[in-house]
């Protein structure tokens, strides 16, 4: 079905880099969807640490940028050639917009596509559909720009889901929850009965813990500096909660009887990434899920790594195949196996976006979600 669409005005959170780490809510022009594209009315958008990396100068992106990349909403217009979606469909946005044609995509690894333009904040054709009051281009962060009342994305980047999934929950499946789930299921391939440790009990870390519980891992050791977050980790399924500290390897070794089968770092902090191989037993897997600032190097003992047969796994977007994995996660939520509402600590309006990031910097919230009015 094809709906005729015209350019429209939308309010969006824009980062221009000239006011510290602050965002301004501006009114922009969003062009109509072109061939193979859809326009999605955003109903909820998560406030993610990847956005904070940009605002705090740790990652570079084209400016001005519309921030946000995990979102859910409804299709409100479709461009020519769209066959798999219709107006009114509930969808989750996938920020890694793979080319769909290369060997990696054909082999079921769209996250490994090197032709994707998402990291350039461009749609697959190398352009943007947004412009400001002066007519200048504005770039959607990670080709999504989810902190906007509406977005235009390729049809394949809007994954239809069951309408019973609330939009705030669905938005997190698009990044933090999907990444955590995928790190466990796709990257580490955790088996029932394996022991696990998770460093960092923020949104992604809690998602990893929930997925570990779903996979039947035991024990599950959560590590964080915050007692409040450790309490959240226990609610998510951690069997043990351990404060961060120099004695961490000894404590994990004691709990897991020799080291965990698999360990996850969900912060992106170089010091804890370097510590991860110390927490696993010989033959174990260490999974880097958190993303550090650009240019930071992680040092490991190469001889010990080889001698003990340990594996380091880099997790990019949880190895997700969105069309396959988003509905699976949504189904697990609907069955009660993944209580994802517990991850949301605050629901805010678009005008409160700076306060949401400030709360993240202070470590006060698990996940803030921007909820848009109907």
Distance of CA 367 to the CA centre of its chain: 11
pLDDT (0 to 100) of residue 2: 44
- Give span(s): CATH 3.40.50.720, the chain: 177-318
Query: Which residues touch 358 (CB under 8 Å, ≥6 apart)?
Result: none
The CATH number of 177-318, from 3.90.110.10, 2.60.120.560, 3.40.50.300, 3.40.50.720, is 3.40.50.720
- Give span(s): CATH 3.90.180.10, the chain: 8-174+344-371
- Residues (pLDDT < 70) of the chain are 1-4, 374
pTM: 0.91
The CATH number of 8-174+344-371, from 3.40.50.300, 3.40.1190.20, 3.30.70.100, 3.90.180.10, is 3.90.180.10
pLDDT (0 to 100) of residue 245: 82
pLDDT (0 to 100) of residue 374: 65
Separation of first and last alpha carbons in the chain: 24
pLDDT digits (tens, 9 = 90+) for 252-306: 999 999 999 999 999 999 999 999 999 999 999 999 999 998 889 999 999 989 9
The pair of structure tokens assigned to 11 is 């309010």
pLDDT (0 to 100) of residue 4: 59
Beta strands in the chain (DSSP E): 8-15, 24-30, 37-47, 65-66, 71-78, 90-93, 130-131, 137-140, 150-154, 158-160, 196-199, 220-224, 240-243, 260-265, 280-288, 311-314, 346-348, 368-371
């Amino acid at each position: 079905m094809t709906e005729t669409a015209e350019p429209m005005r939308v309010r969006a959170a824009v980062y221009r880099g000239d006011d510290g780490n602050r965002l301004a809510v501006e009114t922009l022009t969003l062009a109509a969807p072109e061939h193979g594209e859809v326009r999605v009315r955003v109903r909820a958008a998560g406030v993610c640490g990847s956005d904070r990396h940009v605002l705090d100068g740790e990652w570079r992106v084209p400016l001005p940028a519309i921030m946000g990349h995990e979102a859910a909403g409804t299709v409100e217009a479709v461009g020519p050639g769209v066959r798999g979606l219709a107006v009114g469909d509930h969808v989750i946005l996938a920020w890694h917009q793979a080319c769909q044609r290369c060997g990696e995509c054909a082999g079921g690894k769209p996250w490994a596509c090197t032709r994707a333009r998402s990291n350039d904040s461009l749609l697959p054709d190398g352009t943007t559909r947004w412009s400001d009051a002066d007519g200048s281009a504005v770039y959607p962060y990670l080709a999504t720009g989810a902190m906007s009342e509406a977005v235009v994305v390729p049809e394949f980047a809007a994954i239809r889901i069951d309408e019973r999934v609330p939009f705030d929950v669905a938005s997190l499946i698009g990044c933090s929850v999907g990444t955590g789930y995928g790190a466990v299921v796709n990257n580490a391939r955790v088996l029932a009965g394996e022991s696990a440790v998770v460093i960092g009990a923020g949104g992604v870390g809690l998602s990893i813990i929930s997925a570990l519980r779903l996979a039947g891992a035991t024990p599950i050791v959560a590590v964080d500096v915050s007692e409040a977050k450790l309490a959240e980790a226990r609610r998510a399924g951690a069997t043990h909660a351990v404060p961060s500290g120099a004695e961490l390897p000894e404590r994990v070794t004691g709990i897991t009887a020799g080291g965990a089968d698999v360990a996850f770092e969900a912060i992106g902090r170089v010091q804890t990434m370097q510590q991860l191989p110390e927490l696993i037993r010989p033959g174990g897997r260490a999974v880097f899920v958190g993303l550090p600032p650009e240019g930071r190097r992680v040092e490991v003992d190469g001889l010990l790594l080889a001698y003990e047969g340990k594996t380091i796994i880099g997790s990019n977007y949880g190895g997700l195949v969105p069309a396959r994995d988003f509905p699976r996660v949504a189904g697990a939520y609907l069955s009660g196996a993944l209580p994802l509402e517990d991850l949301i600590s605050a629901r805010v309006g678009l005008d409160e976006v700076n306060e949401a990031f400030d709360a993240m910097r202070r470590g006060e919230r698990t996940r803030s979600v921007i909820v848009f009015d109907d």
